Structure 1
């Protein structure tokens, strides 16, 4: 049974009683036999149209996560009552029809797994069709007390819309036109890029991983798309960040849509190398990107169902565009969160936000006392940068606990068997990785977090001895929950923890933080004083909605929702789904999430364009 949560989305997975007559997957029946028999029963219930029969194939405490297959949204339904109510409204029109299980030898063919010692699942990937599309799903069956296998976890994800499939694989463009009529490839490419005789259907603001992934997906669906970005080059959103930045996610996890990194690419990518890859990606994928271009105003017409967007190009010229879809892809965070403090004007040193940090050099660091406020990824990286540049002292100010895992240990454990050199094809790993509801992933994450803690005991003990407070996340669920609910609060260790353990980077803890500045440093709320010549505020970023407000204005931002953290069902607020404002979407996240969810957002936009929603 579901335990009443102390916090939203704290769940305890049920432990199904052992059946009186055991028919486990490891004894009488094979996992394939069990899964196939269930799939046929499930299909019969769906074909009957009588959702009251779902109780014969699903547990009372079951979950169904759906990504755009059953509704043009991201949904998580928990409990048979909620699932039955949802299906009763959509099943008559969507006509869900399961097709087949993954074949033996394919990724995620039927198998038996035990996510917990007390819980056994028969699991398999499967394919399905609806009245509008085709997709893949994932089933997890648990055995009831009467020996019957019923669905405990279901996932359905749309891959394509019938009649509007991507121009990939066998549907790829011909390309071999030798006639000069209409121009050669380069001439036609320039006409498409300029939008001189046409308008973009979709206008994307931002040419980072979010905008690039989505533009590639939309163009594969035949939607004319334009990206505008105020940077001078594609990839500058990474190049202009601090000099020592390297991605904290491994390359095996962080591919882009359609074009994975080469097999000899480094495991962790330096920022400038990643920026160059983005620039090459934009060229190879033939994406239309206007650089050094800013949006100056935007308004939406309910009558025409279109936007009026005024932009300024690098030569100062103006252009007005009328897309039907507007996407903000400036990153999953909003504007920098820059606090101010009493007495700050009296401080004789330098204060700046972490977003402004470029590099610490011997000329800027030597002999200086550095205070970094904040202990997330950026705070640690900046502290390490100042220490290596020869600062006299570097101190981290920590207000609350921080989850720390080492890239070379826990980082690999996070993706083992799914996104590593032994894992399945990325497109299959993507289905598997999203197939559990987020609250269930958090619950199962407790065991993984505990295993990582044990593997990294030496590092964690050293941090605690140095005065650093380690936090393992709400309910002990670790990094993933922190990222999906807070967007931060963790550090993937790429070197700074060793400096903290050795006392080369010091830690000062004060839950209330800074009380105020004095000429030579800061006074903490607990009364302690920290001398400083430079104070770096690695204090994070506001909600992405603040970027919408800054770029597009109050009228649009007021109608749109906040972004990130989970809604009542357990899906992310605002991101990759209807924003609350017609024709306006948010797109963001790390490279992997941008790859995965750009598909679902592109399908929603295509559905809107062809009148399916």
Structure 2
């Protein structure tokens, strides 16, 4: 373990530094010219080139990790030190990307995308964003800077799909069986996060195997409830005919097509049980139980990527007194499949986020006599106001504190335009976090929001009834009693109360407590606004997390693949650990 390792503290998201600039920009300004002049500043940056609100986020380009620096002193000190060794050069404006961005009447800036190279070892191709505001002397200063590692010079790009294998050479797995295998990387979990990493690794010519506990890719979706609705970000996986919100069967089919198309090496019915570190060989020895055929094998690998689900594997189930008195059905959404068998019964859903709405919607469609949603906390309601491709760039191209503030403004404006939709839900008893903080739900809570794809209308029409005015007190023989003395007769209760979200707990089961002491927690944010644990190096070598939201898993998997490739090629990214003054 790295002797200097200390687990990074998490902080409240509202405390991370970074503010929007107070500035106005004329509509007729030559924004391309302004951006081009701004890029020239980067070749010999001075403190005077930066505004007092300046902020710089680097994603694995100069710092070898994901870091955010705030204020002119920090930004200048870090840039000066890193530029001396990483040698950024060849800055060029990407055509047709400059624009005037205005989030408020008194906050505007010129923003553009650019490309550049790093000539220090390892030599890299990079991109970035620059944001500039006018100063008081008729010139411009840098307010925001973002730098992003794209790939290494002379190596494949993780964003380029791997060559499609010919039918004669494609295998999904390994021909024949032995007691011991070796791979450059082992990916644990064949869902969205795992396949994202596996595809990136294949694109960069890194040998890997993906271990999937279920028999087939996509089974983790097919075993879930039939009415799952989710949008997959792989444009090359799903066609327009599949629809925007995908059913569980469509997702499974898309995953299977992806594996077949790009020849992803997957072992189904394979479960990683334990792992131990061979310090002499610098390899992890993985003990894997396989079911087809039934055997235990060893895999030796320098890298293990854990992709165990956005919210972890352990379900959260509230403890409610007097459970033995209730004679009906009680289950967690993890075990829910369909409401078809409960037609004519009284159903209750505990929870009010995405899963709860899907289950309640399915209960109505399955003709239950009554359907009641028990809401414990206000819920954020998302809609398709922001296109996915725009949201991706806002989320990941800018410092989190900046994307957060922009999104807060956008959401407030859009919610006000559709106020009756929210008013009608509140009249029906649904408690709303109307002006929600999307980064709080995505980057910290790992859930608690709801994308309305139809259940909202069933709430406002009364088909789904709301109980949000009192907490559950106890079970009764015929249902539930609440703290306000009211009672609800019910036959079926489905708890849609989420999962334990810290992947370090799952890692402890595999690697043991000693190794887990050298691992970061999973999700939440640090003092710079960076996500804890995920995608970055740990205190132990070669252990990685990938997960979070669908877009998290897709976007950040590229950086895991890049770091693994650099390590395998003997050119690890130089890691910048300092906190500049």
1:21 match: none
Q: CA deviation at 1:152?
A: 1.0
Q: Take 2:164 and 2:405, find their aligned partners in 1: how far apart are those partners?
A: 48
Secondary structure of 2:103's counterpart equals: strand
Which of the residues 255, 263, 272 maps onto 2:234?
A: 255
- Separation in 2, partners of 1:98, 1:509: 58
Aligned equivalents of 2:461, 2:164: Cα separation in 1: 61
Kept in 1: contact 2:151–2:158 (CA 8 A): no
Asked if structure 1 preserves the Cα contact closer than 8 Å seen for 2:329 and 2:493, the reply is: yes
Change (3 A) 1:123 1:583: same
Q: Which of 301, 306, 314 is the equivalent residue of 1:328?
A: 306
Q: Cα deviation per residue 1:317-370 (whole Å; 9 max; x = unaligned)? A: 111011100111121211211222221122111111111110001x3232x222
Q: Closer, same or farther in 2 for the Cα pair 1:235/1:161, shift >3 Å?
A: same
SS of residue in 2 equivalent to 1:129:
strand
**Do structure 1's residue 434 and structure 2's residue 396 form an aligned pair?**
yes
Could you tell me how far apart the structure 1 residues matched to 2:18 and 2:34 are? 27
- Give the corresponding residue for 1:36: 36
Structure 1 counterpart of 2:3: none
User: Take 2:361 and 2:308, find their aligned partners in 1: how far apart are those partners?
Assistant: 27
2:8 is aligned to none
Tell me how far apart the structure 2 counterparts of residues 190 and 536 of structure 1 sit (CA, whole Å): 37
Q: Which moved more, 1:85-94 or 1:293-302?
A: 85-94
Counterpart of 1:163? 154
Query: Residue 89 of structure 1: CA displacement?
Result: 3.8
Q: 1:590, CA displacement in angstroms?
A: 3.6
CA distance in 1, matches of 2:478, 2:210: 46
3-state SS, counterpart of residue 464 of structure 1: helix
Give distance in 2, aligned partners of 1:304 and 1:510: 60
List alignment gaps of at least 5 residues for structure 2.
1-11, 574-581
- Compared CA separation, residues 458 and 168, structure 1 to 2 (3 A): closer
1:211 aligns with 2:194: yes
Shift of 1:311: 0.5
Q: 1: CA distance between counterparts of 2:484 and 2:504? A: 34
- Which of these residues, 7, 18, 21, is aligned with residue 14 of structure 1? 21
Residue 463 and residue 147 in structure 1: after superposition, are their counterparts in 2 closer, same or farther (change >3 A)?
same
Q: Select the residue among 382, 386, 390 that pairs with 2:363.
A: 386
1:277 equivalent in alignment to 2:236: no
Q: TM-score, normalised by structure 2?
A: 0.89
Mapped partners of 1:596, 1:564: distance in 2: 15
Whether 1:530 and 2:537 are equivalent positions in the alignment is no
- Where in structure 2 are the equivalents of 1:186-205 lying within 5 Å? 186=168, 199-205=182-188
What corresponds to 2:216 in structure 1?
A: 233
Specify which of 53, 56, 69 is matched with residue 64 of structure 1: 56
Q: 1:57 to 1:527 in 2, by over 3 A?
A: same
Q: Deviations over 1:238-280 (max 9, x none)?
A: 1111011121x3x6xx225xx3533444222221011011011
Please name the residue that 1:496 is paired with: 455
How far apart, CA to CA, are the structure 2 residues paired with 1:228 and 1:470? 40
Asked if the contact 2:408–2:438 (Cα under 8 Å) also holds between the matched residues in 1, the reply is no
1:466 is matched with 428
| Residue correspondences, number | 554
Q: TM-score, length-normalised on structure 1?
A: 0.84
**Where in structure 2 are the equivalents of 1:290-439 lying within 5 Å?**
290-314=267-291, 315-334=293-312, 335-361=314-340, 363-366=341-344, 368-405=345-382, 410-411=383-384, 413-415=385-387, 418=389, 433-439=395-401
Please state whether the residue corresponding to 2:255 is helix, strand or coil. helix
CA distance in 2 between partners of 1:166 and 1:596 (Å): 13
Go from structure 1 to structure 2 and tell me whether the alpha carbon gap of 1:14 and 1:40 turns closer, same or farther (over 3 Å shift): closer
Evaluate the alpha carbon distance shift between residue 553 and residue 337 of structure 1 in structure 2; reply closer, same or farther with a 3 A threshold: farther
Alignment match, 2:479 = 521
- How far 1:156 sits from its partner (Å)? 0.8
Conserved? CA contact 1:98–1:126, under 8 Å? no
Q: Secondary structure, in 3 states, of the residue corresponding to 2:386?
A: helix
- Conserved 8 A contact 1:58-1:80: yes
Return the alpha-carbon distance in structure 1 between the equivalents of residues 484 and 517 of structure 2.
39
- CA 1:166/1:195 → structure 2, altered by over 3 Å: closer, same or farther? farther
Q: CA RMSD in A?
A: 2.6
For 1:6 and 1:603, the matched residues in 2 are separated by 28
- Hey, what's the Cα distance between the residues in 2 that align with 1:432 and 1:553? 38
